[in-house]
Structure 1
Amino acid sequence: MPVRGPFDLAASIRFLEGFTPAGRPDAGRHRGTLALAFPAAPSWRPVGVRLRQEGDLGASRRDSTTGEGGVLGRPGGERETRVLAEIDAHPDDVGPATEHARRILSLDVDGTGFAAIDDPHVARLRQEHPGLRPVLFHSPYEAACWSVIGHRIRIVQAAAIKQRMAERLGDRVGGLASFPGPERLLTVTDVPGLPPVKIERLHGIARAALDGDLDAGRLRAMETAQALVELQRIPGIGLFSAELILIRGAGHPDVFPASERRLHDEMAHEYGLHDPSPARLAAIAEAWRPYRSWVGLLLRVRRELETAEIARGRRVTR
């Protein structure tokens, strides 16, 4: 899989090992490789993917032109590298599994312009987290399920429930448990820790996935406002969840979420603002185009590393 722009698979692995709800302690159990297991649309059969980056082209080295870590070579760190994928799947699912993997690591986005964002705050974030791109849920379907599972409970508790669902209801591929696909999820009537209303909403998400309403390409091809409206037609999906599905599920690279309070708080802290309005923050984020989702992810990662508010289960005021 070719890569355009700075990228470091090791940074993706560190993210998955330590950032709830993405937290996966086993993410890098084979040094230098990332193992994934998930149901792949459109068949929703379970697939396994093992990824490694070719060559020593990650964040441990620094680009002599930009002074930032990342892939070396051309000015701005634009040298092409590759991520190699081993696919364990039905033959018909190899292509879709590869495209899923590209999206999960944000490799389907040309990142060569990311270093050109002319904002000193963004430059500092790039230096703090060289080569890190958004690492997504396996699909918009899984992101939507996560939003229902995690509604009004602690994130670490929700992550544990989601993992138990994978182990109890999903298939194992390459030694990893895959979250159950939508057809399997429709047969589930009881999940420890989830009330009946959440089971009903998970069934609605499963039906939406089978109908194609949660197709990543379809959602990204829409105008952002229209995609958010479409997603909120699914029972149990409000604006916060719709934004999460579009950004962290479909992998839209350029969305500034209107309802992500932790991101807004971190922006205010970073830019030295006192109680700014969402409109003011959105105006600042205009300078991040076309990578607003990417910058937002770096802000959220930095906040969690400094506060551990998600791991501790309580909100931090900065």
Structure 2
Amino acid sequence: MSRVLISDDDLEGLENKVIVITGKIISQILYIGGSSGIGRATAQLCLNLGAKVVIGDLNPPSSPFENDENLKFLAINAAKWESLREMFAKTVEWFGRIDHVYANAGIPTTPSFLDVKLDEAGKLEPPPFSTLDLNFTGTIYTIHLANAYMTELAPEKTTGTGSIVLASSEAAFRQMKGSDYIISKHGVLGMVRGLTDSLKEKGIRLNAVAPSWTDTKLISLAARAYYKMKTQTPEVVARSVVLLFVDQSRCGNVLYSKDGIYQEINMGKNGLLEKALQILFRKDDEFASKL
């Protein structure tokens, strides 16, 4: 794994860039998206750096942003194709192009995921898919829309290389309780592995952030107490997102953050890909040498 240092100078390069950040309501009290938590911190950092930001969430921000003259808000459901499609269409209507996208929308696990439930006729009902619909399917929708608008549908071309940052989690590398949430975050890691090369051919860089416990409303007070969590601030994660936006050398990266320390854990030396190849193939394996 490769330690990454992020200075303020490393975050320069967002002036006049057009950035889309997606989010999703969880309940009237508990939500995560562009209007709160990591999404809000990322939006504020981008605005401070001179970017034009479009936030999509079911609820508007609960308090004003600073430097918000280049901020737009749209009420969307990031699990729904039609809603996301409208967000991307409105963004290019307002600003002419899209340079960077942060697929930040996410909700926690469904406690009843493995519960056995019967309908009125006594037949087994399927498991609830709300978490997978948003965290997994909604992220795929966001990637597809970003690709389409960065390469073909926007009236103006993306400046430099376009980039998409996905919201994974430390949960993507663990075996732990969390059922559908854990499944979804492993799936996001799979999107990085499965789509990076194809998007790179189109001039789009795909990366992900994978934060450890972060101080957002996604983590309940009960969970914090049970696991005795030490959390980092959303602003720590926001810096890793912006670095992936502006550093055009980063493609296929997964930036892990914990206690304000960053590591690239996917492609670097002793990273996940290298370790997987060491497990799967001998050093003299002809196929492995070509990967």
TM-score, normalization by structure 2: 0.26
**Higher RCO structure, 1 or 2 (CA under 8 Å, sep 6+):** 2
Q: Which structure carries more strand by proportion? A: 2
Q: Which structure carries more helix by proportion? A: 1
TM-score, normalization by structure 1: 0.25
